[in-house]
Amino acid sequence: MIELSNRKVGLIGNGSWATAIAKMLSKNLETFNWWVKDEYVKESIEKNHHNPNYLTDVEFNPEKLNISTNINEVVSNSDIIFLVVPSIYVENCLSKLTISLKDKFVVTSIKGIIPNHYKAVGQYLVDEFNIKEEQLGVVSGPCHAEEVALERLSYLTIAALDEFKAKTVADCLACNFINTKISNDIFGTEYGAILKNIYAVAAGIAHGLGYGDNFHAVLMSNAIREMNDILKQVNKTKRQINDSAYLGDLLVTGYSNFSRNRTFGNMIGKGYSVQSVIMEMNMVAEGYYATKGVAILNEGYKIKAPIIHAVYSILYEGKNAGKTMKELSMKLD
């Protein structure tokens, strides 16, 4: 395997999860390139050694960071690109690219659907940027950025068709508080990460409405079966749906107080409007945007997905949350 010190790594994004990945990279690499959205963030990290907006307790050694607000500079100087921006901003972010991604290994850790295209990020990159599937990787949990900041033991799955590339990325991220494993289920892993956010919104809505742990457990057990049915259509490769990349990620997102998607749903269940929740939260809840994209994609797959349908009805059709969740409860077992 090529020594990590010889790998040129770039990170695109400066939100909470991008900051968590930056912390992992700084544990393993002598230096890496980091694109951030504006000069304020750049100067704050360089001068104050932390992100001013997210995971502010994480300190960085500025000597390890080549920070830039020019995405072409970061891409040009990197062989491995970690793409970690919210799905709703991906198209705008990459629209500034004049450097080709075709000779790069692009690792996405974005758990959402590209708006208007209704594609997962990996498929969007393949279709719009002519990236071969062999040049694509995916990082999935279960892993909350906040627990990375606290250095609590966490687990990541790195999916890629090329085992060597998957192991190289895993070595970039693994450290004393991050355990890694590899997989070849690129699109299944990515799509599972998208779906679990929708199910976490459902869990939050139920909690906000006053449903208890018993219902929550039934909701999650039905969710993993629903996810499995969908993933069989997305990517027919063999997988163990009980693996941490699928079931584990679903559980932590559906149960944890760190979960922004659960928080989003909880506020909806308590009676907040969608727009008021979006305005109040300072982070993107990918599950909200993913719900519409997955619902549209599911029309083609013709899969029974009552949980996703219920969440879509509440978020996009204005259906009463209490009545819709009661109807859903009658369909679960």
Rg, the chain, Cα only: 19
- Are 173 and 24 in contact by the 8 Å Cβ rule? The answer is yes
| C-alpha triplet 51, 129, 122: angle, nearest 5° | 65
Are 173 and 299 found together in one domain?
no
Tally of domains in the chain: 2
Give the tens place of pLDDT for each residue, 158-212: 999 999 999 999 999 999 999 999 999 999 999 999 999 999 999 999 999 999 9
How far apart are alpha carbons 330 and 327 in whole angstroms? Answer: 5
Are 26 and 142 found together in one domain?
yes
Are 70 and 27 found together in one domain?
yes
For position 2, what pLDDT does the model report? Answer: 39
Annotated binding site: 111, 145, 260-261
Measured on CA atoms in the order 258, 264, 266, 267, is the torsion positive or negative? positive
Annotated binding site for substrate: 111, 260-261
- Are 254 and 196 in contact by the 8 Å Cβ rule? The answer is yes
Give the tens place of pLDDT for each residue, 287-325: 899 999 888 887 777 788 999 999 999 999 999 999 999
- Are 196 and 250 in contact by the 8 Å Cβ rule? The answer is yes
Quick one: average pLDDT of 272-278? 90
Asked which of 184, 218, 242 is the last residue of a domain, the reply is 184
Give the tens place of pLDDT for each residue, 83-106: 999 999 999 999 999 999 988 999
Catalytic residue among 27, 132, 196, 232: 196
Burial of 245 (0-12, 13-18, 19+ CB in 10 A): buried
Burial 286-318 (b: 16+ CB within 10 A, else e): bbbbbbbbbbebbeeeeeebebbbbbbbbbeee
Annotated binding site for NAD(+): 145, 260
**CATH no. for residue 237?**
1.10.1040.10
Reference 288, options 183, 204, 189, 164; nearest CA is 204
How far apart are alpha carbons 115 and 167 in whole angstroms? Answer: 31
Asked which of 157, 184, 211 is the last residue of a domain, the reply is 184
User: Which segment of 41-45, 76-80, 258-262 scores lowest on mean pLDDT?
Assistant: 258-262
Is 196 assigned a catalytic role? yes
- Domain coverage including residue 30: 4-184
